[in-house]
Amino acid sequence: MNSVDLQDSLCRTLCASVSVAERAAGVWQVNTPFTFPDGDAYSLYITALPTGGVRISDMGLTMMRLSYENDIAKMRDGTRGRIFTQILAETDLTEDDGEFYLDAPADDLGNGVFRFGQALTRIHDLTFLNRARVESTFYEDLREKLVSLVGPERLHKDYVVPDVPRASDYPVDYFVQGGAQPLYLFGVPNRDKARLATIILQHLIAANKDFNSMIVFRNMIDIASADLSRLTNAANDMIASLDATDDFQRKILRRVR
């Protein structure tokens, strides 16, 4: 086998995996091996441009699909937003009201289709951020919600409670001003943070500090029952997830008004 044989074999295999069907006047659907994790194929459509060349588009179907299980607005904010913008820039994609498209010369259609498929793969992978990035976006979202609710001037991040032994070793995520008693709030994206928040709360209780405490989980059901029980015993209030917007607002305002 030589390079020519390999190239011929690859060309035959790739060509056999791609087909084109006309779906409407001037609109062709391209079927490729690109699929989502559940096996559904990517939506790829081609139309001719009046100025020459072609436009490869998903007709807005990728974002519609992602919206079923994700908050699409958050893909444009914080860490997610920076990655999202970077993907579009690196792959020459344009996004217009949820539709992704890429304009390419007609004689470079093959490369355009592959680049488009690669871009959709990376966009979809935003829903599978690694643990560090997921936690980063959780803390960004938590701060955003707090700022919108009580304003930045009432928030003190990484707050060191005064008159506590070794206080700098037991910082509070947020001290929220405004209530009859201080409100100490912790964001808990994982089991390790649940344990740390429990230790800090128990230390403050042992120091005879008067305060209210609140735990905001990324997803409460992800926390092991033993860790959750200990944290429940130490904290005053809990929010099961940031998506529980009404509960979040009600419990925060009740403590700081």
Same domain, 156 and 102: no
Q: What is the CATH number of the domain that holds 237?
A: 3.40.1350
Same domain, 208 and 241: yes
How high is the pLDDT of residue 132? 54
pLDDT above 90 (res 195)? yes
Same domain, 109 and 148: no
Higher-pLDDT residue of 6 and 190 is 190
Average pLDDT of span 47-60: 92
What is the extent of the structural domain holding 208? Answer: 131-256
Same domain, 189 and 206: yes
**Domain end residue (candidates: 97, 128, 159):** 128
pLDDT above 80 (res 48)? yes
Q: What is the pLDDT of residues 93-146, one digit of tens each?
A: 999 999 999 999 988 888 899 899 999 999 888 876 645 556 778 898 899 999
How high is the pLDDT of residue 3? 72
Contacts of 44-53 with CB under 8 Å at 24 or more apart are 44/113, 44/116, 44/117, 46/20, 46/109, 49/103, 52/105, 52/106, 53/103, 53/104, 53/105, 53/106
Integer-rounded Cα Rg, in Å, for the chain is: 25
Same domain, 105 and 141: no
Average pLDDT of span 224-247: 92
Instruction: Report yes or no: 234 and 205 within 8 Å, Cβ to Cβ.
Output: yes
Indicate yes or no: pTM above 0.75: no
Q: What is the CATH number of the domain that holds 35?
A: 3.30.1460
Same domain, 189 and 112: no
**Domain end residue (candidates: 101, 128, 155):** 128
Same domain, 199 and 89: no
Q: How many domains does the chain have?
A: 2
Same domain, 85 and 195: no
Round to whole Å and give the CA distance between 12 and 31. Answer: 16
pLDDT above 70 (res 188)? yes
Same domain, 92 and 145: no
**Domain end residue (candidates: 102, 128, 154):** 128
